[in-house]
Structure 1
Amino acid sequence: MQTLFSTEGMHRENSFKIWRETLSDRSLPIELERLDDVPFQATIETATVGSLDLTRLTQGAVRANTSRDMIQRRGQDGTLIVTFQLAGVLTSLQDDRSSVQRAGDLVVLDHRPGVLTTSAGHQSLYLELPRERLESVLGSARLFTSMTVGADVGALSLARTFFLDLIKIRRQLAPDTAIRMSEIGIDLIVACLAERLAHEAPRPVHGTLVVQRAKAYVEAHLGDPSLDPPQLAVAMGVSLRRLQELFHERGQHISDWIWDRRLAAAANRLSDRGFVHVPIGTLAYGCGFANQAHFSRRFKERHGLAPRAYRQAALLGAP
């Protein structure tokens, strides 16, 4: 990663003051307060992978307060902050929920008033993700902000390792591949949050969370041609009848949702220049269709054009 700032080599009496000024210059809406008297050290490192900007932050023991006025001046309401805790301890308070994150944990923070406290030796990896991308699957961010996602979530270790490895190999990736890898990383984060929400959901919202988890699972397994309602119910740990009831309560059918998402993914790939050399049959199989004829029929019913014609029109910029 590229080092943007480091207190290394600075005089101990000046390092925290300069660090605070540096964060202010980066328009971060926080006020910092030191919590110990040991020599203060801090570093900001960044990397870009596809559509994601990643920041690794290392700092000593501080308390960071964020007020409503400070947030409004920055105007970042369209994103949420996802934090992988790499070392030390982070305590977060937001939306009347207080939680503690240790190495290996994940937490999501919103651009709303809150308090963060870091221990000595704190290190985190930060990503800003589109709010709509998370809330469209998981519901309002208030359901999961400042909620510790820990080792009891099986996918978390995979997600953390994925991003750390992605940073290491980012320069070896072609631009289109980097974008696709960043999208996979976001899907992993969504899956982790969906699993965590399901662990301790109050009964009134449990059904909503099951549906949200099911939709996240579908997004992550679109390429599996065997994915169907019975398999999805098994993956969610509920009966097929119960899952069907939950979808019906929301005016949806499970199979229709799966095919809608497969067709949407196919349309996106047909419009993507990064897939221009992928044969139609291969693309169809990658979106979960068992054969090209079935794909072509369903695609034309939905979009009014055969896949090949749709691709040609999209790449030419036709409406």
Structure 2
Amino acid sequence: MTHAAWDRFSTTGHTPRDALSHWMRWGERAIGAIRVQPRDPARFRGAAARMTAGSATISVMRFSAASAAKATPGEPDDAILFSLPLAGSFRYAHPGADPVLVGPGDIYLRDLSRDWSLSTRGESRLVTLRLPFEDFVARYGDPGPLVGTRFCAGRADVACITGILRSVLPLLQSDGPETRQRVLADTLLDAFRLLAPEPAEDAPADALSLHRQAMLHIARNLGDADLSPATIAAALGVSPRSLQRVFQRRGETMQGVILDQRLARAAEALRASPRPGITPLAMNLGFNDPAYFSRAFAARHGCAPSRYRRHLAGLT
């Protein structure tokens, strides 16, 4: 396992504008491309450190109240992120899912291939561990049952993990000998096995990998009106029937996943900028029929996209 020294960064000494741009560049190296909006840009402050432990990236951050989101919605990042708040509360949200409030002692998992956002109200401290998807599967199994779940501080297994974190982290940050750092990092990563579910006999690692590849292909090609189980299977070099079975094991269909992601992306686009026309938005997301798009959007979000947009405009 290869380890690197801690890469440290602080906004101290930077102008407010430079502080924010440097913070986002540092965040891109630690957890992926992000955009940050401080509650008070003139007073935004942050300090952070990160290190690599094999393929994992461990980051420790302290920052002023802010909101953050994936910098490029729809651009997949094939990784899983553990988030462990040390101070402050975090409101996490994914399109199409209810927001989750996470506080000190809790553990929350994010799938970085999906769009996400978070917000904080005061100064916060956070530890994150980022693992490529394939390495996560090899170490912990299928992340599906874990992603988007808040593991509460009151649970014995969560308390054990956070206790190990608080014991190991100061030693890791002391830049000791590489052998000691490797043992400490492995101890921390192994602790998260306490959250891993029992592996399903009908979900081998190659099926998990195939599902992941299909999900990434869907996310990258939502604007393709010809996107279908057949074109996805052809792109991955497998038969449509084999790929359908992988989704069926998870209680999903590819057609349903494609529609879910398109509708979630549409809502995200309207939230980000309530100006796009409904027809161009539908076409950009692979809907050949704007009327069908409006009906599907209303069935999912409770109102037509035009009304959804007017509601958002009324909130600003």
Taking structure 1 as the reference length, the TM-score comes to: 0.50
The structure with the greater share of residues assigned to helix is 1
Residues 30, 70 of structure 1: 8 Å contact kept: no
Distance 1:7 1:109 in 2: 26
Out of 61, 65, 87, the position equivalent to 2:65 is 61
* Alignment counterpart, residue 4 of structure 1, candidates 5, 8, 16: 8
Aligned residues of 1:155 and 1:188 also touching (Cα < 8 A): no
Which runs of 5 or more structure 2 residues have no equivalent in the other structure? Answer: 201-316
1:185 paired residue number: 188
> Contact conserved, 1:94 with 1:114, CA < 8 A, in 2?
yes
RMSD: 3.6
Mapped partners of 2:133, 2:63: distance in 1: 27
Partner amino acid, structure 2, of 1:105: D
Q: Report which stretch shifted further, 140-149 or 85-94.
A: 140-149
How far does the alpha carbon of each residue in 1:220-258 deviate from its partner, in whole angstroms, 9 at most, with x for none?
xxxxxxxxxxxxxxxxxxxxxxxxxxxxxxxxxxxxxxx
For 1:132-147, what aligned pairs fall within 5 Å after superposition? 132-135=134-137, 140-147=142-149
Match of 2:110 in 1: 109
Separation of aligned partners in 2, 1:107 and 1:24: 19
Shift in Å at residue 166 of structure 1?
A: 2.1
Conserved? CA contact 2:93–2:100, under 8 Å: yes
Amino acid paired to 2:99? S
Deviation at 1:177, TM superposition (A): 5.2
Report the Cα offset of residue 160 of structure 1.
1.9
Cα separation, 1, equivalents of 2:15 and 2:175: 38
CA displacement, residues 91-112 of structure 1 (integer Å, 9 cap, x when unaligned): 1112624211111111111111
| Distance 1:48-1:20 versus aligned 2 partners, 3 A rule | closer
Map 1:186-201; keep pairs closer than 5 Å: 186-191=189-194, 193-194=195-196
Which SS does the other structure have where 1:128 is aligned?
A: strand
Determine if contact 1:159/1:188 at 8 Å carries over to the other structure.
yes
2:104–2:153: 8 Å Cα contact kept in structure 1? no
Query: What is the DSSP-based 3-state SS (H/G/I as helix, E as strand, rest coil) of the residue aligned with 1:144?
Result: coil
Structure 1 unmatched ranges of 5 or more: 195-208, 214-319
Residue number among 153, 159, 167 corresponding to 2:169 in the alignment: 167
1:137/1:212 contact within 8 Å kept: no
Matched, 1:16 2:20: yes
127, 130, 136: which one aligns with 2:129: 127
Superposition map of 1:1-319 within 5 A: 2=6, 4-12=8-16, 15-20=19-24, 22-23=26-27, 28-36=32-40, 39-48=43-52, 52-66=56-70, 71-72=75-76, 76-77=77-78, 79-94=79-94, 96-111=97-112, 112-135=114-137, 140-170=142-172, 175-176=178-179, 178-191=181-194, 193-194=195-196, 209=197, 211-212=198-199
Instruction: Name the amino acid aligned to 1:186.
Output: L
CA distance in 2, matches of 1:185, 1:106: 14
Question: In structure 2, do the counterparts of structure 1 residues 67 and 13 end up closer, same or farther at CA, with 3 Å as the change threshold?
Answer: closer
Larger Rg: 1
State percent identity of aligned pairs. Answer: 17
Using the TM superposition, give the Cα deviation of residue 127 of structure 1 relative to its aligned residue in structure 2, in angstroms.
Answer: 0.9
Q: Deviations over 1:53-87 (max 9, x none)?
A: 31111111222122665634xxx41x311111111
Native 8 Å contact 1:80 1:130 kept in 2? yes
Query: 1:186-233 deviations in whole A, cap 9, x for unaligned?
Result: 232121x24xxxxxxxxxxxxxx5x449xxxxxxxxxxxxxxxxxxxx
C-alpha spacing 1:177/1:97, structure 2 compared with 1 (3 Å): farther
Distance (Å, rounded) in 1 between the aligned partners of 2:119 and 2:84: 15
Give me the whole-angstrom Cα distance separating, in 2, the residues matched to 1:85 and 1:179: 23
- AA aligned opposite 1:31: R
User: How far did residue 164 of structure 1 move?
Assistant: 3.2
Number of residue pairs matched by the alignment: 195
For residue 20 of structure 1, report the CA deviation from its aligned partner. Answer: 3.8
In structure 1, distance between residues paired with 2:32 and 2:180:
31
| 1:120 counterpart letter in structure 2 | G
Distance in 1 of aligned mates of 2:153 and 2:85: 12
Tell me how far apart the structure 1 counterparts of residues 50 and 139 of structure 2 sit (CA, whole Å).
28
Paired residue type of 2:36: L
Q: TM-score scaled to structure 2, two decimals?
A: 0.51
Distance 1:42 1:139, change over 3 A: same
Post-superposition shift, 1:154?
0.6
Q: In 2 relative to 1, CA 21–179 (structure 1 residues): closer, same or farther, beyond 3 Å?
A: closer
